[in-house]
A = this chain, B = another copy of it.
Amino acid sequence: MEILVAKSAGFCFGVKRAINEAEKTASEKASDIYTLGPIIHNPQVVERLEDSRVFVREGLDEIDKGTVIIRSHGVKLQEYELARSKGLDIVDATCPFVKKAQDLVSRLSEEGYSVIVVGQKEHPEVKGIISYGPPGIRVVETPEELKGMAREKKIGIVAQTTLPMKKLEAVVSFCVSRASEIKVFNTICNATSIRQEESASLAREVDVMIVVGGRNSANTRRLAEICRSIQPRTHHVEVAEELEPAWFADTEKVGVTSGASTPDWIIEDVVRRTAHLCPK
């Protein structure tokens, strides 16, 4: 039996970088280290970091000294400033793509554009991005939410990095007739679409498809849906222990892919155990 692992499986660039920063900080500093919110939605990774004295805190009111790591989502400008005024050591692991979206909102506002951020209002990344704009900056996911907007001279548009492209296109298209000038920064990171396309193409090649990742991870669930629509013998697991021998009956080829928050060692575990279950 052959096991094929998607090249794009595992952490995206920004998450990998944030975890590396956390591990590096833990190895260099003697004091306690905190992350503002879990560094990633994966309990195994968070536990591992706790063993290295990197603890999760939900807000800065819970941190009075030591080092604070800003995760890949970024934080609000006000939180950043509060951390500084509290004299905390700041390790800024904001994903460079998110940082760019923050900077662009700030730049567009300064240049006199009415800024629209296309994304999910409640997502921590979006809350951070809009904090770089003026109060009352617009956040929408669909053009319908802009109905009734007065005509503007200049509209500037920035997207949440994980936004589906179709949503950005729809909002931009709506705005064309609502302003004399529109400046769009396509800040969408293509890691998600590349992973989805590669997994779909893998699902077409194999008899069984294994999707590894948290059951609470939206991007992993979406990945499993896509694979299942192509190969009905698709199974979504969080850890290797969930794999069942019966899944691999009459199987020549198994495909393995994972969501963005799944660490490499969990993927390796799954590959090892799959090989063990069907050794032929």
Q: Using a CB–CB distance below 8 Å, which chain A residues touch chain B?
A: 165, 168-170, 172-173, 176-177, 179-186, 188
Q: Is there contact, CB below 8 Å, between A176 and B186?
A: yes
Bound form: Cα–Cα A184–B176 in Å = 8
Contacts A169-B176, A176-B172 known; A182 to B184 CB distance under 8 Å? Answer: yes
Closest 9 pairs (CB-CB, A-B): A173-B173, A182-B184, A169-B173, A169-B176, A165-B177, A183-B183, A172-B176, A181-B185, A180-B186
Contacts A173-B173, A183-B184 supplied; 4 other A-B pairs, CB < 8 Å: A165-B177, A169-B173, A177-B188, A180-B185
Bound form: Cα–Cα A183–B185 in Å = 9
Q: Is there contact, CB below 8 Å, between B176 and A168?
A: yes
Contacts of A184 in B (CB 8 A): 176, 181-184
Within the complex, the shortest CB–CB distance from A141 to chain B, in Å, comes to: 15
Which of B170, B173, B183 makes the CB contact (< 8 A) with A181? B183
Bound form: Cα–Cα A169–B173 in Å = 5
Contacts of A176 in B (CB 8 A): 165, 168-169, 172, 184, 186
Bound form: Cα–Cα A73–B160 in Å = 41
Bound form: Cα–Cα A186–B168 in Å = 18
Q: Which residue of B lies closest to A100 (CB)?
A: B180
Subset of 14 A-B contacts with CB under 8 Å: A165-B176, A169-B177, A170-B173, A172-B176, A172-B182, A173-B173, A177-B188, A181-B184, A181-B185, A181-B186, A182-B182, A182-B183, A182-B184, A183-B183
Bound form: Cα–Cα A277–B173 in Å = 49
Within the complex, the shortest CB–CB distance from A123 to chain B, in Å, comes to: 20
Bound form: Cα–Cα A170–B182 in Å = 15
Contacts of A180 in B (CB 8 A): 185-186
Contacts of A172 in B (CB 8 A): 172-173, 176, 182
Q: Which residue of B lies closest to A187 (CB)?
A: B180
Most chain B CB inside 10 Å of its own CB: which residue of A165, A168, A180, A186: A186
Q: Is there contact, CB below 8 Å, between B173 and A182?
A: no
Contacts of A177 in B (CB 8 A): 165, 169, 186, 188
Q: Which residue of B lies closest to A177 (CB)?
A: B165
Bound form: Cα–Cα A185–B177 in Å = 10
Bound form: Cα–Cα A186–B169 in Å = 16
Contacts of A168 in B (CB 8 A): 176
Contacts of A170 in B (CB 8 A): 173
Bound form: Cα–Cα A172–B172 in Å = 8
Bound form: Cα–Cα A159–B4 in Å = 49
Bound form: Cα–Cα A85–B184 in Å = 41
Within the complex, the shortest CB–CB distance from A173 to chain B, in Å, comes to: 4
